[in-house]
Amino acid sequence: MHSEIDSVRLPCGVTLGVEHFGAVAAPLVLLAGGPTMFSWPDALCEALARGGRHVVRYDLRDSGASTTVDPGAPSYTLRDLAADAAALARALGHWPAHLAGIGVSGMVAQVAVLDRPDAFSALTLAGTRPVAPGPIDEDLPDHDPGTIGRLFALPMPGWSDRAAVTEFAAARAAILGDDPDAARRTAGRVYDRTQGTEPEVHLANQLGMVFARLDCAPRWRERLPELAMPTLVVHGRRDPFFPVGNGEALAREIPGARLLVLEQAATAIPDAAADEVASAMLAL
């Protein structure tokens, strides 16, 4: 299916890299990348577009083709990223929008719909949790320590070496339980669009290292029962980074939320599950 790469400048001066799928006149599904847009698989975007939606996946600030200043020391907060989502929906001429976030961008999506409920009509949260990076609530399962240990034991690649970067991504995926070949291809796409400067940021963000530097206060978990929009929570049964108990907690605390557990998935949405996830999103 044809897609179109674009960029959108927001009123705050930030430019976001975006990619469009489907008819522009259709209802909008905004897919916030975690952190880059490629966290959402092509197969899912295409399935949503076939279902009659205008799908836009985008890069968060300091990643991909979006405005990048100093990823290691962000001058903005989680709420600024949430405001970007609402501003992007308005800039694209669709209001309200179905907002989806995956991994760390799932945190952005939660704050966005709580802060701007008028801007969004539905919410999808994939592979995320109801609290910010850092100390976790006692009732939530934390990262699997063995997995984290193996991730940090991997030697860093030379970031100017495309082959080394893609193999590093494949090795990380294997540790997490994701498809190494898919991760290798995605890392290559990230590398090619950022001339070898962005993969380090991208991969660090995947571990929450950059997000941990953001100001995520005040907490938002206690406000989840305020949500009054159709919500889908998608989680991989085998996710060692945000174990499935985090998705179960989200589904319990958001009124009327549906929980879709992907039995064979870890942190990423596999292409084989794209139609199932798209159908659940389209049903909201």
- pLDDT at residue 202, rounded to an integer: 58
- 174 falls within a domain: no
pTM for the model stands at: 0.95
Report which secondary-structure segment, H or E, holds 258: strand 258-262
- 74 falls within a domain: yes
> Could you tell me the CA-to-CA distances from 84 to 9, 11, 91, 113, 129 in Å, in that order?
10, 9, 10, 12, 20
Q: How far is Cα 71 from Cα 62, in angstroms, rounded to an integer?
A: 5
- 109 falls within a domain: yes
The stretch 241-267 carries a mean pLDDT of 98
- 133 falls within a domain: yes
Q: Collapse the DSSP code of 213 into the 3-class scheme (helix H, G, I; strand E, B; otherwise coil) and give the result.
A: helix
- 194 falls within a domain: no
Dump pLDDT digits (tens) for 27-81: 999 999 987 899 999 999 999 999 999 999 999 988 888 877 776 778 888 999 9
Looking only at the bridges linking them, the beta strands covering 15-21 and 54-58 are antiparallel
- pLDDT at residue 3, rounded to an integer: 78
Q: What is the mean pLDDT of the chain?
A: 91
- 127 falls within a domain: yes
- pLDDT at residue 208, rounded to an integer: 64
CA angle 220, 201, 141 (to 5 degrees): 40
- 256 falls within a domain: yes
Report which secondary-structure segment, H or E, holds 56: strand 54-58
Q: What are phi and psi of 130, to 5 degrees?
A: -90, 15
CATH number of the domain within which 119 lies: 3.40.50.1820
Dump pLDDT digits (tens) for 135-158: 889 999 999 999 999 999 999 888
Q: Indicate if the pLDDT at residue 14 is higher than 60.
A: yes
- 134 falls within a domain: yes
Q: How far is Cα 167 from Cα 161, in angstroms, rounded to an integer?
A: 10
- pLDDT at residue 206, rounded to an integer: 57
Q: Which has the closest alpha carbon to 40: 17, 59, 15, 23?
A: 59
CB contact at 8 A, 45 and 3: yes
Dump pLDDT digits (tens) for 164-222: 989 999 999 999 999 999 999 999 988 888 765 555 555 556 556 667 778 888 899 99
- pLDDT at residue 89, rounded to an integer: 94
Q: What is the tally of structural domains in the chain? A: 1
* Residue-number span of the structural domain to which 230 is assigned: 3-142+213-282
- pLDDT at residue 216, rounded to an integer: 85
R_g over Cα of the chain: 17
